[in-house]
Amino acid sequence: MSRPIIPGMRTWPRNLSTSQGGGLSTSQYGGMSTSQYGGASTSQYGGLSTSQYGGMSTSQYGGLSTSQYGGLSTSQYGGLSTSQYGGLSTSQYGGLSTSQGGGMSTSSFNVYMSNIPPWPYFLREVDLRGYDWASELIRAYLPEFLWPENFFQNYQR
């Protein structure tokens, strides 16, 4: 079984690679890029966009949606799912996996793609919604410099 490709769902690089196309890259198509469609763009289809399909959207397929495939969904493939391919899975291709294809990988090959906003923003939203169990799990794998209290000025957990 492989991770499904959902027509219309937007995803962005969400691993820890700083190379071009990586989750921490600010270059075009990078996970922290603010250019159009970029992983940290607030424009339509961007990783920080609140419009439909955006990383900060609560609508279907959005990065902050609780419906199936959403970033805050605990169902299979969801951002808060610990099952295979889930956002909180530590198995290969999972959001907390350090192996190639995982969200905590620094590899520039087979980059982990997700519909969630960039990790600091996602973790902040998880904290604000009171998902303490998910916050602790993410913090166990995510480097401290990407924790909201270290990434954002004046942020208190």
Q: Is the pTM of this model over 0.85?
A: yes
Residue 7: predicted pLDDT: 87
**DSSP state letters, the chain:** --PPP-TT---EE-SS--STTSTT--STTSTT--STT-TT--STTSTT--STTSTT--STT-TT--STT-TT--STTSTT--STT-TT--STTSTT--STTSTT---SSS--EESSPPHHHHHHHHHHTT-HHHHHHHHTTS-GGGSHHHHSTT---
Q: What is the mean pLDDT of each run of 10 residues along the chain (157 residues)?
A: 78 97 96 96 96 95 96 96 96 96 96 97 98 98 97 79
Q: Where are the domains of the chain?
A: 12-117
Q: What is the pLDDT of residue 2?
A: 59
